[in-house]
Amino acid sequence: MLNRSFMILFLALLAAPLTSPSRAQTSAAATPKSYLVGHWYGAVDSVWGNCRFVLSIERSVYGGFVVTYDSIEGGGYGLPFDTEKVQKKKFIGRFEGDGEVDLTLAGPDRLKGSLKFPGKFPLSGGKTFPLVMTRGMDYSLPRVDPHGQAVTTYTYQPPVPGPDGWPTVDVESLGGDRKGIETAVTALLDGHYPHTHLHSLLLVRHGKLALEEYFYGYGPQDVHQLQSATKSVLSILCGIAQDRGLLKTGEKLFDFFPRYRAKPDWDPRKEKITLKSILTMTSGFACDDGAYRKAGGAGCEIDMLNSPDWLDFSLSGPMAHDPGQHFSYCTSCLTPLGAVIAQQSRMPVADFAQKYLYDPLGIQNHLWLVGPDGTTEVGASQWMRPRDMAKLGLLYLHQGLWNGKQVVSADWVKESTKPQPIPPDGRALPDTVIYGGPKPCIPPMGIISPITPMAKGGNISSWSRTWTWSVS
């Protein structure tokens, strides 16, 4: 899982309003005239996908300006720049050392310029991208009308059928509580939950889409980074690969990469690493994302993303435990699994996923992150529409069956979602990381509700999992 504070500063880059005396007192004593005062929203199309942000420039009662930025994808709000310069028609802000935003007024409601990512950011570091911003509150409020005013009421409407052919239905025809849904969505719109920053809310009942609502400028065609829910997608792909005879989870990892056994730093304990121990995060590699961050590091995954060869980074890592003896949450450790799928299928992970998983489910709009060595990141960097996230949950609810076709075997669905034995060191595997399978996507009442949240301060951040709950 990507480091939370890192992602807040990385994926976002500009902000929502936040006025505080301590911040304001750092501004100039006199406030020059500026046409930039107000709220602006825009996005940068980078290698990390569409990164949305909000810029707020307000006059301070102490003189000068209060300037902050929000990360929409990253979940950071009210973030200050290291330095900023507000002129009559121009804004320059620096962040994270050598990162810079340079914007010029290009019309009464339009800013145009560029954004340079700080050098330390993986893949995008030091690169400059075009940036256009529009005056308004579209990313700052749950929903706005065509005039830019807040929408605070809601009347239920059945979802609009999409080109994927997935049937939609009126929730009342299924015995659902229309008024209850209207009350819940209205509470999201009127500020009852001010720090939730929910981007989407969908409800599936009896295989049909009964609710599909979007907020904060998002829409049905926008993809969301799944973050660690990508691991559930990887699990399904491993199941499909095993069903097709391309691999077996009991096979040794380094049978697929035998040249590593001849390296002078070879650790004999690596000989016991199996594909299953990678899936259950009991490989024994000296990587623990949580412990790494607590010690002040960025995390094994960030180190991998900053390396020129992601696969080599993962396979060459040191060992800390015997395989199968200790659970350790490590995102970069999953990278070799994607490489095994690509090697055995003779196609990139994205192509394998498209052919055997996404095409049967009618999923077309998705993205994967690929490294400089051609290796696909398979632990946290899949982008997908919430509507398609729901399909994965429904696939598992139906034991791997979709429209009469067995996409992944029922045996894999069962195996990948059952509790695994507690490792000998006594540290149990959490329910969210059981064999890599999407266990939270299987409610007993046949209800699937994917939610893409954004909690203030990064508590949930952009970690857009497919959440589900049951209703009795």
pTM: 0.83
pLDDT at site 191: 82
Query: Where in the chain are the domains?
Result: 4-135, 226-441
At the top level of CATH, which class does the domain 226-441 belong to? alpha beta
Token pair of 96 as six digits: 């994270």
pLDDT at site 332: 94
Pick from 462, 317, 432, 354: nearest CA to 9: 462
pLDDT at site 227: 85
Q: What is the CATH number that goes with domain 4-135? A: 2.40.128
Pick from 109, 92, 87, 107: nearest CA to 38: 109
pLDDT at site 471: 32
Contacts for 411 with CB less than 8 Å, ≥ 6 apart: none
pLDDT at site 437: 44
Per-10-residue mean pLDDT for the chain, 472 residues long? 37 34 38 82 86 91 88 81 93 90 95 90 87 93 91 95 91 92 94 82 92 92 88 95 97 98 96 95 90 66 91 96 92 96 98 97 92 94 92 93 96 89 68 42 40 37 32 29
- Give dist(CA 89, CA 111) in Å, integer: 9
- Give dist(CA 160, CA 436) in Å, integer: 33
pLDDT at site 7: 37
Amino acid at 14: L
For residue 390, the 8-state DSSP code is: H
